[in-house]
């Protein structure tokens, strides 16, 4: 019943997380009604985020300048690397403001059932960073769920033999909850309560 272009916009919006058909229709009609410039600003912002952002060659965080602002910051502790699943986890930890080391973004977790193996993540690059030397501790901050734990186990087995201290953040985050939704205090507790991983 909708014209083709409108139908396409609704179906694209519907693919966004948390957006059902009703919301997609509401957003599409809002865009349809909006002034040309307003609607196009949204389109351009989407295009730019894809065009201008590249993974940092060191930590894989999407950035406009390589290395990213965190890796380039001389005041950060380069001997400590905090490993997270997704870019959004870096932003969550940065909001906490307690961690002063560097990050490494895996861009996912090992999920064999979904066909995601170690080689599909940035694990080789992490291993190379540790092998390059100067790293004293790797903090595994993957989420406290099955995939996060399996990935963390894989990494501890890979990295500990390289002579680096490997720790896992504390489960101050209630089981099943993620960094993304953690408060500053929860992040502080999770980092301070981290424990060395036995291999
Ligand atoms: Zn970086």
pLDDT, tens digit only, all 199 positions of the chain: 899 999 999 999 999 999 999 999 999 999 999 999 999 999 999 999 999 999 999 999 999 999 999 999 999 999 999 999 999 999 999 987 889 999 999 999 999 888 999 999 999 999 999 999 999 999 999 998 889 999 999 999 999 999 999 999 987 555 556 787 788 888 888 888 898 987 5
pLDDT at 24: 97
Q: What DSSP designation does 171 have? A: T
pLDDT at 69: 97
Instruction: Find out whether 61 and 84 touch, Cβ atoms under 8 Å.
Output: no
- Report the b/e string of 23-43 with b at 16+ CB within 10 A: ebbebbeebeeeeeeeeeeee
pLDDT at 47: 96
pLDDT at 173: 57
pLDDT at 177: 66
Expressed in angstroms and rounded, the spacing between residue 97 Cα and the centre of ligand 1 is 17
pTM: 0.83
Interhelix angle 87-96/184-192, nearest 10 degrees: 100
Instruction: Find out whether 107 and 86 touch, Cβ atoms under 8 Å.
Output: yes
pLDDT at 29: 97
pLDDT at 172: 59
Expressed in angstroms and rounded, the spacing between residue 25 Cα and the centre of ligand 1 is 38
Say which residues have a Cβ less than 8 Å from residue 43's Cβ, sequence separation at least 6: none
φ, ψ of residue 187 to 5 degrees: the values are: -65, -45
* Per-residue CA distances from 6 to 33, 86, 101, 132, 175 (Å): 12, 32, 47, 52, 42
Expressed in angstroms and rounded, the spacing between residue 70 Cα and the centre of ligand 1 is 6
Expressed in angstroms and rounded, the spacing between residue 15 Cα and the centre of ligand 1 is 29
Expressed in angstroms and rounded, the spacing between residue 91 Cα and the centre of ligand 1 is 12
pLDDT at 175: 53
Neighbours of ion ligand 1 (CB under 5 A): 56, 58-59, 61, 67-68, 71
């Amino acid at each position: 019943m909708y014209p083709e272009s409108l139908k396409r916009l609704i179906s694209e919006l519907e693919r966004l997380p948390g957006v059902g058909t009703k919301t997609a229709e509401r957003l599409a009609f809002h865009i349809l009604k909006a002034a040309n410039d307003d609607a196009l600003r949204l389109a351009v912002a989407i295009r730019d985020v894809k065009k201008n952002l590249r993974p940092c060659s060191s930590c894989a965080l999407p950035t406009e300048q390589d290395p990213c602002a965190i890796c380039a910051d001389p005041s950060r502790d380069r001997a400590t690397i905090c490993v997270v699943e997704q870019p959004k986890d870096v932003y969550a930890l940065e909001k906490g403001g307690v961690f002063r080391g560097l990050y490494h973004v895996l861009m996912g977790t090992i999920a064999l059932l979904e066909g995601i193996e170690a080689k599909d993540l940035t694990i080789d690059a992490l291993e190379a960073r540790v092998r390059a030397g100067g790293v004293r501790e790797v903090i595994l901050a993957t989420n406290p769920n099955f995939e996060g734990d399996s990935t963390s186990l894989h990494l501890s087995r890979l990295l500990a033999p390289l002579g680096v201290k490997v720790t896992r953040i504390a489960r101050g985050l209630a089981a099943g909850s993620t960094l993304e939704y953690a408060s500053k205090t929860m992040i502080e507790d999770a980092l301070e309560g981290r424990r060395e991983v036995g291999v």
